[in-house]
Amino acid sequence: MDRTGPAILSGYRIVFRTLQESGLSPKLAKLDNECSKALKEFIVEEEATFELAPPYIHRSNAAERAIRTFKNHFIAGLATCDKDFPLHLWDKLVPQANLTLNLLRASRINPKLSAHAQVYGQYNYSAHPIGPPGTKVMVHKKSGKRGTWSAHATEGWYVGPSMEHYRCYNIWSIATRHMRTTDTMTWFPTKVALPLANDVDRVIAAIAAIGEIIAKNEPSNTPLVTNSQLDEL
């Protein structure tokens, strides 16, 4: 991890710009004693103030507590990974860990909102589904990208949702050893059971679908439901 002055300054610039774009302009930055002169100057330029924590008293710096919370959350995510998940890919799991932690954390401005919703707006779970990190998957290979007799899927590791696509996932491909985005894959979890629709869920969905059909049906002599379909119902 790069803890040099330029790297820290670059990180602060990203944080400041992200908050400002959301209409949240930082007013006070609480820093430790490793704060560089360039960082102090940047905070002043942004019309904010800074406050240094006392030496060796980390509890007075809220960032230290936040770091510990993230570490615990990230370790919990690693515990759900497949036993064969390559640990050198740990950094690929960081974006989803940040996302899920901020979805769980309440906003300090409005406790009724999550920290993520406060900055980015409500999260759309339908558009960007989330799965257990480090899960083994089989990724579908599109017909135009595979040979006539080649396999229709390839192995990979799920690392998070693709926020720039609709209902797509970021996958580390074992074959190419690179990241790829896909919308079609099969999950093979070993530690976390994925939710499945049971008989009650399917019946409720069928009843809702029938109600929609009846509501839209125009009066006619053609029966809406056949006798065989009635028997099945």
Residues 171 and 180: their CA atoms lie apart, in Å, by 5
Residues 93 and 131: their CA atoms lie apart, in Å, by 11
pLDDT tens for 56-104 read 666 667 778 888 999 999 999 999 999 999 999 999 999 999 999 999 9
- Pair of tokens at residue 126: 């339908």
Mean pLDDT of 162-168: 95
Res 119: pLDDT: 93
pLDDT tens for 20-68 read 888 888 888 888 776 788 888 898 998 889 888 777 666 667 778 888 9
State yes or no: pLDDT of 188 exceeds 90. yes
Q: What is the pTM of this model?
A: 0.76
Res 225: pLDDT: 64
Q: Is the dihedral of CA 25, 28, 30, 35 positive or negative?
A: positive
Cβ count near 158 (within 10 Å): 29
DSSP characters for 154-211?
EEEEEEEE-TTSSS-EEEEETTTTEEEEES-EEEE-SSSPPP---HHHHHHHHHHHHH
